[in-house]
A and B are shown apart, each in its own frame.
Chain A
Amino acid sequence: MTVHSFQEHFDAKIDNEVMIEPRDWMPDDYRKTLIRQISQHAHSEIVGMLPEGNWITRAPSLRRKAVLLAKVQDEGGHGLYLYSAAETLGITRDEMFDQLHTGKAKYSSIFNYPTLTWADIGAIGWLVDGAAIMNQVPLCRTSYGPYARAMVRVCKEESFHQRQGFEIMMTLANGTDVQKKMAQDALNRWWWPSIMMFGPNDADSPHTAQSMRWRIKRFTNDELRQKFIDVTVEQARLIGLTVPDPDLKWNEERGHYDFGPINWDEFWNVVKGNGPCNKERLDARKKAWEEGAWVREAALAHSEKRKARKENKEVKAA
């Protein structure tokens, strides 16, 4: 087979919705795109534990604490599923960590915002996990097998994340004036960053067309963003909160909500590292990695010692 026929074979599979598996031939750019996307996704799950972990010790009840712990643990699991999916493409776990720690790899900018009050935990579950679900459900049919399988697992677990967040918001919105104000304030701060989670407008998203062609992506950023806004605005109404967008208006003709301009300067600024918590998040990850080094080494040394002891015994027995 020539390179040309490998390419044709690959294209035919994509066109016929046949999944690509790790040992199949794939164009280098397809592999690179996947490594970038999957590892970024994994980093987002891992860094995403930090803003919420911040509230585990301060959750208002034992029930809320248990739920938040379970949610944060799930996010750690999501990161692990995704890292191993990326590893099937030929990058190592340590290489990915290194890219994260040196700032070479990005993670979702949303996690560079601070969690100031308990209502933020509600807003994150409802909006951030909600936006993530919008993004992730179509990825269950993405063309790379290990990624798709990881996403199936992730999506099964995400739905409780969003529901518990909405429940927190609902409880606060039905509470005292102060509690209601807290919920509204959290919505005000998290709404626009959540909208930005879908990434730049299609016109400014150079990779979208190729990713759609490869069936890595199934919907464009703008399509997903619109979908999210349409369903979330109704949810806010249900609990009597106001979405902080004066231009928000139902458009009968389009069958969608029209919404105001997005502050892309803020978005790019946070992506470039100047968000309120970029440094704090990265420092926390690096600290965990560096201070955990002795554990990784000790476990490896211990297992090698045990292996040697066992081999010794076998030799003696023989």
Chain B
Amino acid sequence: MNQFINKNLYGDYGDKEQATGASGTHNTAGEWPLWEVFIRSKAGLDHKHAGSLHAADAQMAIENARDVYTRRMEGVSIWVVESKNIHASDPYEAASMYEPANDKVYRHPTFYNLPDELKHM
């Protein structure tokens, strides 16, 4: 199992080093590091992943993110984080990872069968 996963890590965000390190064929030495960009579209909303870009440092990443991802006022705030610092869950463990939530329908309000006459609840 492990060997398949290693073979198929195609450089997802954050695990780029691991992915490229394993195959050893990609040389990113001269490249500016990769950054993930998160944008808050307006006050009151969460920052949401918008995409990625290359920049030499955080300041340049923010400036580039403005030019690349907010040309039409898509944002009021930008977060950038170097992609190598993001850690992701393993898609092959998704089944077991999210299994505990699977059989707990009683966590949803619709689980409870209450009379129609009941108001404000």
Contact = CB atoms under 8 A, between A and B. Distances in A.
A145 B62 CA distance: 24
Contact of A73 (B54, B56, B71, B92): B71
Nearest to B28: A92
B56 A23 contact: no
A81 B51 contact: yes
B57 A306 contact: yes
Interface residues of B, number: 34
Contacts of A93: 31, 54
B10 A88 contact: yes
Q: Per DSSP, are chain B's interface residues mostly helix, strand or loop, or mixed?
A: loop
Interface in B67-82: 67-68, 71-72
Interface stretch (A218-226, A264-272, A295-303): A295-303
Given A89-B11, A300-B32, A303-B57, A23 B88 contact: yes
B1 interface: yes
B34 A87 contact: yes
B60 interface: yes
Contact of B9 (A23, A87, A150): A23
Given A21-B91, A81-B51, A300-B32, A88 B13 contact: yes
Interface string A78-99: 0011001001111111110000
Interface string B79-118: 0000000001011100000000000000000000000000
A28 B1 CA distance: 17
Contacts of B26: 90-92, 95
A285 interface: no
A244 interface: no
Given A77-B71, A90-B20, A90-B26, A31 B10 contact: yes
B81 to A, nearest CB: 14
Contacts of A3: 4
A18 to B, nearest CB: 12
A91 B67 CA distance: 24
Interface of B: 1, 4, 8-13, 15, 19-20, 23, 26-28, 30-32, 34, 51-54, 56-57, 60, 67-68, 71-72, 88, 90-92
11 contacts: A1-B1, A1-B92, A3-B4, A6-B4, A22-B11, A22-B13, A23-B8, A23-B88, A23-B90, A73-B67, A299-B32
